[in-house]
Amino acid sequence: FQQDYFTDENRVLKKDPQQDYHLEYAMENSTHTVLGFSRELHTCDTNDKSITESTVRVIWAYHHKDMGEAGQNYHGSNRGTKSLRLLNPEKEEVSSASLPYFDLTNKDVPVPDKDTTYWCQMFKIPVQHEKHHVTKVEPLIQKGHENLVHHILLYQCSSNLNDSVLDYGHECYHPNMPDSFLTCETVIFAWAIGGEGFTYPPHVGLSIGTAADPQFVLMEVHYDNPSYTEGLIDNSGLRLFYTPVIRKYDAGVIEAGLWVSLFHNIPPGMPEFVSEGHCTLECLEEALSAERPAGIHVFAVLLHAHLAGRAIRMRHFHNGEEQKLLAYDDEFDFNFQEFQYLKEERTILPGDNLITECHYSTVDRIRMTWGGLSTRNEMCLSYLLYYPRINLTRCASIPDIMEQLQFIGVKEIYRPVRQTWPFIIKSPKQYKNLSFMDAMNKFKWSRSEGLSYNELVLKLPVNVRCSKTDNAEWSIQGMTALPPEIERPYKTEPVICSPSSCLHCGLFPTLLFVIHVTASTIGNIGPFV
């Protein structure tokens, strides 16, 4: 017995007059109850959510007794929620059981009792002198630390280092961190909270073992400790499976979006604010024309923001004409960030440009939100996995700051000799001797002012970031470019929904759900919500 119900703001279950969920099969034994049911992706039913490629928060609950005439039984503790990407295309899973692997893990790192810590540890890749391909990467998160470890980045470091850099780890972005850490600029893998292992497509692998490949890598672990818990010791990291059977292409990673800095900022009290990071036409033109005029092929994307993030889109333009979104998540969940496999590989050519578009909500904040490393700060980044590998590691932008200052009424600034960043305000009087951050926080932000500010920042000139490996730069790096004139907001493709009566007409996409419940106390199949 299975029916389609929905719930209201009072958490009361109501039978849906339009029955869109259809039981396909059910089975049960002494330990498991299994239900398989299907539904159209778009049902035209106001009581249903459309199912898209965005994150879906699946809520489940059950009771060990069947629903009686009095209605549903309260589920008690038999409930939960999980963020999933239901339409993420299935990857071709190649068994890694027989493959060799190596682990890159922290060793008894004392996590400070503070909000945010970035810990860096240098490693030497154990596979040397012969080319291999990494085919799968799995996170190794210490049990109980699933919410502590927010993300892990793996960087390629200078090939001129020696084993002396391997002795110890250190807090990243710290004035006293080792100079060797500064040589590690090229991201070769990224994992974020909620994500699972990543398997490369069968024709692509992460190359290791040759002179052009990473010999020394830096693992950066972001610890998020908002409760300031003391005495935490962590041993998390990554496991890399590899094979001597060489694949056709070497994989690369491009970090795109907004360069993380205070120049990226969001006013308080805004139900929606949009930031854009530009992988500019100028950067892609220079790098691709020199390295790969036929273009590169993107096969997966990781979209990354922090707590204020609500939606992220990766917009793609070819010769000024907008293409289908490269990747998107209109239901962004800070606690669930993983690589999206593209249904079809996307070619990026000279003449293209990419925009990482991030939507934020700061309605619960009374001060500015700044671009920065803490989860209470913000980011707007996309990590593109692609092949064949070229010498382009970062394609990003920074918005111009002077017009941001002019917006709040700043007239004069000066740069004191001992001031580290980046200036002090001279006039007008209400901002005199204040820093940029203090002045922006002092400004009386209203929603209308926030909207006007948003319109301004989206049109500001941007400083181009266009980086190579080993801290080298393409010539366009540091140049100023104007953002392209584009349609805002992005026009989503119209949804074609289908009524329940058309379920088996074969014209509309249908999703099959399978639920496994492990519970020896379950009798006959009860109501599932």
In 3D space, the residue among 334, 376, 326 whose CA is nearest the CA of residue 355 turns out to be 326
CB neighbourhood size of 282 (10 A): 18
The beta strands (E) that lie in 390-523 are given as 394-399, 412-414, 424-427, 462-467, 480-481, 510-518
Report the alpha-carbon distance of residue 409 to residue 401 in Å, rounded.
13
Report the alpha-carbon distance of residue 314 to residue 323 in Å, rounded.
10
Catalytic one of 264, 304, 306, 316: 304
- For 75, which DSSP code? -
Catalytic one of 118, 155, 200, 386: 118
In 3D space, the residue among 153, 227, 148 whose CA is nearest the CA of residue 186 turns out to be 153
Q: Judge whether 101 counts as a catalytic residue.
A: no
In 3D space, the residue among 139, 488, 116, 60 whose CA is nearest the CA of residue 307 turns out to be 116
Name the one residue in this structure whose structure tokens are 């392209």: 484
Q: Judge whether 304 counts as a catalytic residue.
A: yes
**Which H helix or E strand runs over 134?**
strand 132-140
Classify residue 165 as exposed, middle or buried by CB count within 10 Å of its CB (0-12, 13-18, 19+). Answer: buried
The beta strands (E) that lie in 225-377 are given as 232-234, 237-243, 249-250, 252-258, 265-266, 273-279, 296-304, 309-318, 321-322, 327-329, 340-348, 352-360, 369-370
Give the Å distances, CA to CA, from 33 to 59, 78, 79, 234. Answer: 17, 14, 15, 37
Q: Which residues are catalytic?
A: 118, 304
